[in-house]
Amino acid sequence: MIGLLSRVSSVLNRDATNYGKKHLVDNNLETCWNSDQGSPQWIQVDSTSDQEPIQPTSIRLMFQGGFAGKECELLGQPLTPADATSTEWHRIMKFYPEDINTLQEFPIAQPTHGYKKIKVVFMNSTDFYGRVTVYQFNIIS
């Protein structure tokens, strides 16, 4: 995966060993990131270098059925000379995953500029308590 996985909104019962962010990218379908309850939840990826911005073309996610993001947004913090110090998030796209446990891909319709940070925000969840469970996560560039 491009970038460097940096933060998630929460971890179920603060149990990072079993449900932490490292499980999003470990290529093991037996492990997952599981958020705590509440909405919104999110995953943030930071660029590893100012010279290598994140230029996403699609997002891939595999949820646990019953704990999927319902309405989601992909946000980015631009990395351009004019606003290199900006902390403002810009919406790249909205997307609506299915409540299934297979890998889903969400292409970005318009080419994007380089971003120093990317955030996938799960505005709400198919779970009554707002929990989100993700087995695979990847930003394709």
Asked if 136 and 63 touch (Cβ cutoff 8 Å), the reply is no
Q: Domain 4-132 adopts which CATH fold?
A: Jelly Rolls (2.60.120)
Predicted TM-score (pTM) of this structure:
0.91
CA–CA gap between residue 141 and residue 139 (Å, rounded): 7
Q: What is the pLDDT of residues 28-66, one digit of tens each?
A: 999 999 999 999 999 999 988 777 888 899 999 999 999
Residue 53 is encoded by which pair of tokens?
């911005």
Mean pLDDT of 103-115: 88
Coil vs helix vs strand at 2? coil
Between residues 113 and 23, the one the model is more confident about:
23
Confidence band (pLDDT; 50, 70, 90) for 86? low
Residue identified by tokens 């270098």 is: 49
CA distances from 119 to 13, 45, 61, 89, 137 (A): 22, 6, 13, 9, 12
Residue 94 is encoded by which pair of tokens?
């909205």
